């Protein structure tokens, strides 16, 4: 079965520092992978998605993620953290079930930004 694992339930970085949020996937077929962000008291918003067109995917708000098949990873990065990046981040994979697809999420990583 396809799944994703997020390493680190809480990550804290200083403003201006590199952000690295880790996600590893388990899949027997090429996966479709996503990163979502959730700001307090809001629903989830798509940051970026991997659909096999390119291994380096750029998303909104300066985030990007690199698909590495050899490491089964899809880590999310941002060169310079901003206070507004404080949120919870979820990695997700789209799995094929029967003739339909369903999306399975990781347990989430809460990102805190120190002034």
Q: Does 40 bind other proteins (CB under 8 A)?
A: no
Q: Site for other proteins (CB under 8 A): which residue of 54, 102, 112, 114?
A: 102
- Residue 62 touches other proteins, criterion: CB under 8 A: no
Give the CA count within 13 Å in the CB-facing half-sphere of 49.
Answer: 9
Whichever of 22 and 49 has its CB closer to other proteins, that residue is: 49
CA–CA distance, 57 with 24 (Å, rounded to integer) = 16
Sole binder of other proteins in the list 32, 63, 67, 74 (CB under 8 A): 32
Does residue 90 interact with other proteins by CB under 8 A? yes
């Amino acid at each position: 079965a396809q799944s994703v694992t997020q390493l680190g339930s809480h990550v804290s970085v200083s403003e201006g520092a590199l952000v690295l949020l880790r996600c590893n996937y388990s899949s027997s077929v090429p996966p479709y992978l996503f990163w979502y962000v959730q700001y307090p008291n809001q629903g989830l918003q798509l940051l970026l998605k991997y659909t096999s067109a390119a291994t380096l995917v750029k998303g909104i708000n300066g985030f990007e993620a690199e698909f590495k098949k050899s490491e089964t990873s899809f880590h999310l990065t941002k060169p310079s953290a901003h206070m507004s990046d404080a949120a919870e981040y979820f990695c997700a994979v789209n799995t094929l079930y029967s003739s339909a697809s369903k999306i399975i999420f990781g347990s989430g990583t809460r990102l805190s930004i120190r002034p």
